[in-house]
Structure 1
Amino acid sequence: MNQLISITALASISALGSNPNEIWQNYLLDKHFLSQKEISPQDRNDKSKVFVGQLSKESQHKVDELRKSDAKYRNLDDSVLFAIYVSREAIKSANWKSKTNFGVNFGSSRGATALFEKYHKEFLETQKSSTLSSPTTTLGNISSWVAHDLQTSGPEISHSITCSTALHSLLNGVAWINSGMSDHFLVGGSEAPLTNFTIAQMQALKVYAKRHSELACTELDSRVEESYPCKSFDLQKKKNTMVLGEGASAICLEKGIVKNALATICGVGFATEVLKHNTSISTNAICFQKSMKMALGTISPNEIDAIIMHAPGTIKGDQSEINAISKVFCNKTPFLTTNKWKLGHTFGASGMLSLELAILMLQHQKVIAVPFAERQNQPKNIKKILINAVGFGGNAVSILLTK
């Protein structure tokens, strides 16, 4: 890090809500916010249900209102609308209304998932494609529409680096600011992956959480709040328990130490590792070891109070990250937590939603524990938090925040 960079605003929308106070109150509860979605498997005609992290009705209503607010927005994918919504909220909170030269970098793992599948199905059935099928499904249309909506004249960048995408957006914003080419950057991630095909892809990998088949639907419905479909950070689990979620988050970055900043970025790290399998990282997550060490820089591991883990809820994924943390922090492991058991794995948006949890913990000076995980000693003061994210291909990012 050439210089410290301030986070002056944050906004999000997910299964936990869209209001900062509501989101924090939901974090304080030991319950999850996953629900059941009906899908139609490809190999049979009957419908079944899976667990997902869907937006609340109130949050979905806000997205629907945004869609209706402008004729140009009616044909946009939810991933774009999520990004526009959180960007508006972040800019308002940061008081950037008078600024027109800030940069925009939004990322997404899947992009316009629902629209792409809709247009492809249409093409298979008619051998014709709708006029707007191309411009509304390009990955670049997320940042482009955000920049259009906010009327910024700064650079606008889109990218996809699987599940570490949002934190790669943050890295890019930091790089632009450190280069002197920009003093302000809006960065974030957005994902709307709750389609039959995307869920089927995760099921094909055998990583998706299964419903309790031994229970009748009515009984399961009554007990859904008593169980935890996604056992993220439960190292005793015998089955993979990943659950997909939808959502977006954006933060405003400003050069230097800014008064009333929510948090300060004091370290960034990134790494990849040689693939031995299409989906997995190494047993000891070499990429995470490298990214965490880079983010720490000259800061002692003993100064880290908590780590927000990537922890997708898979057996190998969760364990490999724990192994990497043990290698880096040796005998003094910080407080460990994650949020995917609450809101699901939001792919390219997940890293920024984890960063939101870190900021809330710094603000309220309270850690959020995973209720079914092994109990840990809680830090008396929370000053430094490390956030991890990694995607297919071992693309790891670690961000170090300080109060």
Structure 2
Amino acid sequence: MIKELKRVVITGMGAITPLGNTVNEFWNNIIAGRSGVRLITKFDSTHFKTKIAAEVKDFNATDYFERNEARKYDLFTQYAIAAADEAINNAGINFEMLNKNKIGVIWGSGNGGIQTFQDQVEEFVKGNRQPRFNPYFIPKIIADIPSGAISIRYGLRGLNFSTVSACASSNNAIIDACNYIRLGKADMIITGGSEAPINESSIGGFNASKALSTNNEDPKGASMPFDVKRDGFVLGEGAGALIVESLECAIKRGATILAEIVGTGMAADAYHLTGTHPDGEGAYLGMLDGLEDAGIGASEIDYINAHATSTHMGDESELKAISRVFGQRPDMNIGATKSMTGHLLGAAGVIETIICVKAIRESRIPPTINTSEVEHEYSDKFNFTLGKTQEKVVRYAMNNTFGFGGHIATLILKKYENDN
């Protein structure tokens, strides 16, 4: 007997970002069009081509953990737990009233504990290659530890794992969470992603691949998605968390439903290790897959939060794909919020999903800042939401994320309506 798929809703959100360490602070800065990009403070960037990044500010681990517990976790795990705590509180969850065997955690990260890895290898070399590794070295660096740590913190015994698909990691985590709930494998899942990659290894590596902006003279204006003058992305860090549950579970516990997940799309560029397909083939297929899953036509999408990292090839290929799917839609808003947050790599998808949820709930679409001259072929095809927030009723929002390796992950969210 084939079971009917369950409807899936979002009931809680949490965020640690370059623009604020709560969802409300983050959203208020996004709506105001502020940039979180500054000169790097986490290390001496004197000899690096890129000297700017979107760092998290004023994060104190001891606000969330005892000092001894905090030592067990790399910063990317600390960010994850902090965001999850906010999402759980936001959702009004009392785990003692729920079946913990049916509550899971799925978490995404592209880099894992890269700071810990760098620090420990440096210590190894400085110590004349004598093995003095921290006993927590392995659990601090592997990408699955946030999902395990969150489950341990709250005693959650449902499905538990991590997704790694570079910059698509957290969108893939949300997609997996959605599908497992649809199938009845879990009632509720804490999902999202986190990254803490602002160090010498990441900046140096991305510089070597010519991916980063080197507009060090104007940090706040460096990320300019879709602009003809764009010169690369700005590295960011942080975490986002969602509480995703079945509609039945949410109604039963009297939860406030923030939005519904109605479509998930996945594909691959099958083209290049780091470059996107020049015609956006994977992005095109992923968006079509999401629309088919949602059971809607392209004309029903009101807002796309684009992947739009501010790289030449990536932005152009995404615009080609959007044009193939949507044709000419000057009534449809496209937003590129990495212009403000920088690129949070594996955490980008969930942070931008939070933005989509807020846009749906508040009927406000955040601006794309810094962009003044959109690629000429596309400038009249869509509303790029340039410069300032726009008021608009959003019934359906799409969130695109793409990762090195050709990974494509698309989410479609809908304004919750309890009569369908």
Q: TM-score, normalised by structure 1?
A: 0.89
Matches within 5 A, 1:251-400: 251-256=242-247, 258=250, 260-275=256-271, 277-297=272-292, 298-332=295-329, 334-371=332-369, 372-373=371-372, 374=374, 376=383, 380-400=392-412
Distance 1:224 1:106, change over 3 A: closer
Of 215, 223, 227, 1:230 maps to: 223
Unaligned runs of 5+ residues in structure 2 are 416-420
Residue 142 of structure 1, CA deviation: 1.7
8 Å Cα contact 1:308/1:337 also seen in 2: yes
Instruction: Out of 116-125 and 250-259, give the one that drifted further.
Output: 250-259
How far apart in 1 are the matches of 2:150 and 2:134?
23
Find out whether 1:26 has 2:10 as its counterpart.
no
1:401 alignment partner AA? L
Residue 47 (structure 1) shift: 7.4
* Contact 2:280–2:317, Cα closer than 8 Å, also in 1: yes
SS at match of 1:135: helix
Q: Following TM superposition, by how much is the alpha carbon of 1:224 offset from its aligned partner in structure 2, in angstroms?
A: 5.1
Matches within 5 A, 1:26-45: 26-38=29-41, 39-40=43-44
What does the per-residue CA deviation read over 1:225-247, in whole Å, with 9 as the maximum and x for residues that have no partner? 5xx1111232x12x522111110
Spell out, residue by residue over 1:118-143, the C-alpha distance to the aligned partner (whole angstroms, 9 max, x if none): 11112223321332222322222221
Q: What's the secondary structure of 2:329's corresponding residue? A: coil
- In the alignment, the residues of structure 1 paired with residue 396 and residue 274 of structure 2 have an alpha-carbon distance, to the nearest angstrom, of 31
Local SS of the residue matching 1:188: strand
Which residue is 1:121 aligned to? 122
1:135 aligns with 2:139: yes
**CA deviation map 1:7-58 (0-9, x unaligned):** 01111110111223322221122331111115446xxx8578611111122x
Is residue 114–residue 193 contact of structure 1 (8 Å, CA) maintained in 2? yes
Tell me how far apart the structure 2 counterparts of residues 75 and 301 of structure 1 sit (CA, whole Å). Answer: 47
RMSD of the TM alignment (CA)?
2.1
- The one-letter code matched in structure 2 to 1:22 is E
2: CA distance, partners of 1:278 / 1:370: 28
Query: For residues 323 and 91 of structure 2, what CA distance do their matches in structure 1 show?
Result: 37
**Residues 168 and 349 in structure 2, CA contact (< 8 A), matched pair in contact too:** yes
What is the deviation of 1:72?
Answer: 2.8
Aligned pairs for 1:114-193 (under 5 A) are 114-126=115-127, 127=129, 128=131, 129-193=133-197
Aligned to 1:216: none
Distance 1:180 1:308 in 2: 29
Q: Identity rate of aligned residues, in percent? A: 25
Q: In 1, are the aligned partners of 2:269 and 2:276 still within 8 Å (CA)? A: yes
Note the alpha carbon deviations across 1:355-381, whole angstroms, 9 max, x for none.
011111111101112132458286742
- Cα shift readout 1:333-369 (whole Å, capped 9, x = no counterpart): 5210021111111110000011011111111101112
Separation (CA, whole Å) in 2 of partners of 1:161 and 1:274: 14
- Partners of 2:392 and 2:119 lie apart in 1 by 51
1:217 aligns to what? none
Q: Distance in 1 between matches of 2:94 and 2:208?
A: 45
* 2:214 corresponds to 1:210: yes
Inter-partner Cα distance in structure 2 for 1:200 and 1:48: 8
Are the equivalent residues in 2 in contact too, given 1:40–1:48 (CA < 8 A)?
Answer: no
**Structure 1: gaps (5+ residues):** 213-219
The CA distance in 2 between the partners of 1:157 and 1:131, in whole Å, is 22
Distance 1:398 1:383 in 2: 17
Structure 1 consecutive aligned stretches of length 4 or more whose deviation exceeds 6 Å? none
Matched to 1:115, the amino acid is T
1:305–1:379: 8 Å Cα contact kept in structure 2? no
**Alpha-carbon contact 2:77-2:146 (below 8 Å) kept:** yes
SS at match of 1:185: strand
Kindly indicate whether the alpha-carbon contact (under 8 Å) linking 1:335 and 1:379 is maintained by their aligned counterparts in 2.
no
